[in-house]
Amino acid sequence: MTVQDGRRLAICPGTYDPVTLGHVDIIERASRLFDTLIVSVTDGSFKKRPIFSTAERIAFVEESVAHLENVEVRPLGDLVVRHAQDAGALAMVKGLRAISDFDYEFQMAQINKHLAEDIETIYLPASAKYSFISSGGVREVAAWGGPVDDWVPPHVAAALRERMQRSPTAG
């Protein structure tokens, strides 16, 4: 088990494109379990091309979690387990909304465990009121001009409206 300076540290990796209230809920809950939680914002993935830049997504997450003193936000441009080890993390926290999330995340946890035995994967189930919210769903509604204010922090809703007015086919 890795403990940095006697403190229990975990990462919470994701694309956060955009950060949702469901993400914020998972981050808040995870921050109570660890001395330090690093929200690691990935540059992107092979599955999807983000509509917001890494710097924009980091800024959105930072503003969304500014009330949490033990949370840091960092870019993630490396293999997630290498990033976790470099940070001194003992765990990765992943939020789960549905069985389909578990299916994918369980496979990733097995791959990550093979690559780094010292890093655990911890799953937090989504709170019921956020269990249907996904970044992809938010992007889809926003692209069609629908309201997303109930699903994302206010600053993110404003950025989505502005981005989608400029380029409704983004993402």
Residues belonging to the active site? 23, 48, 97, 135
d(CA 142, CA 160): 7
- As beta bridge partners, residue 95 has 124
Q: Which residues contact residue 160 at a Cβ distance below 8 angstroms, ignoring those fewer than 6 apart?
A: 18, 138, 139, 142, 148, 152
Residue with tokens 């939680």: 37
